[in-house]
Amino acid sequence: MQRRTLLSCLLAAGALAACGEPKPQFKAVDITGVDYARDFRLSDAQGQARSLADFKGKAVVVFFGFTQCPDVCPTTMTELAEAKRMLGAQGEKVQGVFITVDPERDTPEVLRGYIANFDPSFVALRGSLAETEQVAKDFKVYHKKVEGKTPGSYTMDHTAASFVFDPQGKLRLYTRYGTGPEALAHDLKLLLQGA
């Protein structure tokens, strides 16, 4: 009798476990369901208005930075390009989006040259100061101009992380700076597989 009861309990536990789908094991911070960073509407380096809907069907990685950044920005964009390359043919379904927090210096021409250094499919976006402020606020991105040693020289402090959207346009992941291309490629692959 005890054996039959034990077997029944094990079968019931197995059935219950099969009912719940396991959560994907992302390397980045899973922020699925947050109520911010829903979209952006800014101009690309060719002057065309772009929004998240333009990239439907792709995993989209959004990063806020500036072209005169000496370390965090080029490292992040290089890692994104490498993660895309690591995915092989699936990499065609990955869209990199760079949003400048320094529209005063990052003109369309400067952005075109900058983004071409990483991947020809990546898009660089900019807005007016007010538009930049609004999008950064919506994404909860910190950015602040820090005056330099000479008049007119400055740098920008900014959030050093990326936001990853799934192919349906839903924000899913917050990727911290320096996690490396392998971790990003792992997460992008899961999202492209429908995780």
The continuous run of DSSP H or E covering 137 comes out as helix 129-139
**pLDDT tens-digit map of 91-125:** 999 999 999 999 999 999 999 999 999 999 999 99
How is the chain split into domains, by residue range? 25-192
Please compute the mean of the pLDDT values over residues 124-142 and round it to a whole number. 96
**pLDDT tens-digit map of 16-33:** 444 555 677 999 999 999
Q: Are 96 and 122 in contact (CB under 8 A)?
A: yes
pTM of the model: 0.86
Phi and psi for 146 in degrees, rounded to 5? -120, 115
Q: Name which of 3-12, 74-83, 159-168 the model is least confident about.
A: 3-12
Query: What's the confidence (pLDDT) of residue 126?
Result: 97
Residues belonging to the binding site for Cu cation are 69, 73, 158
Measured torsion, CA atoms of residues 24, 179, 106, 152, in degrees rounded to the nearest 10: 140
Residues belonging to the binding site are 69, 73, 158
| Dist. CA 83–CA 87, nearest whole Å | 7
Query: What's the confidence (pLDDT) of residue 17?
Result: 46
**pLDDT tens-digit map of 142-188:** 999 999 888 778 999 999 999 999 999 999 999 999 899 999 999 99
Q: What is the CATH number of domain 25-192?
A: 3.40.30.10
The set of long-range contacts for 137-140, using a CB threshold of 8 Å and a minimum separation of 24, is: 138/36, 138/37, 138/38, 138/39, 138/40, 139/36, 139/37, 139/40, 139/62, 139/64, 139/163, 140/36, 140/37
Please compute the mean of the pLDDT values over residues 80-92 and round it to a whole number. 97
pLDDT at 6 over 60: no
Q: Report which of 188, 179, 159, 192 is spatially closest to residue 61, judged by C-alpha positions.
A: 188
Query: What's the confidence (pLDDT) of residue 24?
Result: 74
